[in-house]
Amino acid sequence: MDFIFARKTDWPSLLRIIFWAVFFLYNASATLPEVQENNLYARAVAGTRVTPVTTIDNDPRFIRDDLPLPTKNGVRIAWITDSTGVIYLPDRSILNTMYADLKFISVHVLKLLEEKRGLKDASIDISPILAVKTIENLSAVAALIETRPQMIVMSLNPTWIFYGYEILSKKAFLNKASALWIKHSETWPWMLMIASPVNHLWALAGQHFKIIRQSTLYKPMFQPPPPEEDGTKKKQSRKKISDTIFWVCSSSTKENCETILIADQKHNMEFVYNEFFKLSDPASNGFAAWSLQNTLDILEKSGIPTLIYTAPASEKIKKDAEAYKKILLINDAISGLRKKYEGTNIRIIDRIPENIQRSATYLNNDNFHIVAPGKLDDFLADEIWHTIQQYHIAEKRNNR
């Protein structure tokens, strides 16, 4: 090994090493074969003018590279949502559902805009990040703003918006996040506090080198998928408990913690989310509240007409008096934000009317995830149309 390690070198040699490393990265990026993007929602949007634009969980690019943005002509709507914007299968919990089985409420909404309002050239660029937390939500907003849509629709999930026990879950997105955050001074402190040095390096290098930016797409070529466990092994292995359950348990009594753990293992999301709710604090000055405020400030500064709605909840939530009380507090806090942003480009629906919420069909043991939208899609279509009218969006439609 001496011929490598004992070789004498000097500063020009080191510069040469750097040059060749950069040269390799450029050439590798230029000669990489094209790899198909992961489009797990293809079935959900087939034949529609809805385009899922964000990458999947472990892919840090946020926005897919293969989409020419703007994706379509006409009235372009960017829709930022999470699992509450998705329609599930009735016989599965949200944790057992495959991507291919999901549908989007926005597809229904777009169809209604076309049929009832004659808006035949509207399109939706949807960012459906399941289980999105407050930091990812802001980053999705920042990413979609860059595509300059005519309008933004954003859903607020009452479970997470004031929930400080889990402000971030998809850490892979941090690799791109700092490139988004640097454009918004509200998030500059986050560049030191949340994004690590390697996140910054990835964000910087990813902009220039495709081989780095698209590394997730090429991973399956080098790393075969893990072998499927056989049935006996599956029985032996216990489901790993999430970190958020740990923190929730640490704030609970021992008995309550055991109940939460059992509910989590059995996918009783109604109980689990109720417990999360009770720990939300709309009055706190924590990170979740800070993040929501930053999100709204960024939207306001963008000047893009924005409709924000709070995701509906099932009547079943009233069975837990404490959780219901908390959701009313959350609604009040959002109502305060609605008043604060009146007269700006942001319209906030702090609470979807009760009859609309009741019309949707929800998953068993779940208060927020729906299997049928009921009148929700109609309601949202009307609100979107109202926003389009209010801000004369149709007159500013995109024409290429």
Partner 1 sequence: MYDFSYDSHEYFFDLLAFSFLLLPCFFLPVSALARRLMMIVAGMYMIYFIAPRLVVFYLAFWVGIFLLHRLIAFTEKRGGANGIFWATILIVLSPLVCWKVLGDTFSHEMNIVLNNLFRQASQILWELDMASGLVGTIGLSFATFRALDLLIKTYLGKLERLRFDEVMFYGFFPPVQIVGPIIEYEEIARLEQKPDSQKIYEGLLRIASGFFKIFLLAGALKGTVGVFGHTDGMPIWQVWLNLIGYSWYFYLNFSGYSDLSIGIAKLYGFDLKENFNFPFFKRNIKEFWNSWHMSLSRFAQRNIFIPCGGYRAGTQYVALLATMMTIALWHDISIPMVLYGLYHFTGLTVQRHYAARTTTAAPSAAATHILHVLLTYLFVLLSFPLIPLKFGELLPFYKALVGM
Residues contributing to the site for partner 1 (CB under 8 A): 4-5, 7-11, 13-14, 17, 135, 164-168, 193-194, 196-198, 200-201, 233, 238, 240-241, 243-244, 246-247, 250, 284-288, 290
Judged by CB, which is closer to partner 1: 49, or 200? 200
Judged by CB, which is closer to partner 1: 13, or 361? 13
What is the closest distance, in whole angstroms, from the C-beta atom of residue 243 to partner 1 in the complex? 4
Judged by CB, which is closer to partner 1: 178, or 314? 178
What is the closest distance, in whole angstroms, from the C-beta atom of residue 114 to partner 1 in the complex? 41
What is the closest distance, in whole angstroms, from the C-beta atom of residue 323 to partner 1 in the complex? 21
What is the closest distance, in whole angstroms, from the C-beta atom of residue 279 to partner 1 in the complex? 11
Return d(Cα 103, Cα 57) in angstroms, integer: 18
* Amino acid present at 28: A
Integer distance in angstroms from the first to the last C-alpha of the chain? 60
DSSP 8-state code for residue 310: E
Judged by CB, which is closer to partner 1: 36, or 236? 236
Judged by CB, which is closer to partner 1: 193, or 321? 193
Those residues whose C-beta lies under 8 Å from the C-beta of residue 36, and which sit 6 or more positions away, are: 217
Q: Is 316 left (phi over 0), alpha (psi -120 to 50) or beta?
A: alpha
Nearest to 264 by CA among 166, 133, 156, 365: 365
Judged by CB, which is closer to partner 1: 20, or 339? 20
Query: E strand or H helix at 246, and its extent?
Result: helix 243-250
Nearest to 280 by CA among 140, 364, 369, 156: 156
Judged by CB, which is closer to partner 1: 201, or 372? 201
Return d(Cα 116, Cα 377) in angstroms, integer: 12
* 8 Å CB contact between 295 and 137: yes
Judged by CB, which is closer to partner 1: 104, or 202? 202
Those residues whose C-beta lies under 8 Å from the C-beta of residue 219, and which sit 6 or more positions away, are: none
What is the closest distance, in whole angstroms, from the C-beta atom of residue 77 to partner 1 in the complex? 31
What is the closest distance, in whole angstroms, from the C-beta atom of residue 192 to partner 1 in the complex? 9
Judged by CB, which is closer to partner 1: 13, or 389? 13
Q: How far is CA 156 from CA 187, 330, 351, in A?
A: 20, 11, 10
What is the closest distance, in whole angstroms, from the C-beta atom of residue 73 to partner 1 in the complex? 40
Nearest to 83 by CA among 71, 66, 95, 91: 95
Return d(Cα 164, Cα 175) in angstroms, integer: 22
- What angle do the packed helices 243-250 and 254-265 form, to 10 degrees? 160
What is the closest distance, in whole angstroms, from the C-beta atom of residue 26 to partner 1 in the complex? 19
What is the closest distance, in whole angstroms, from the C-beta atom of residue 290 to partner 1 in the complex? 7
CA angle 256, 259, 263 (to 5 degrees): 140
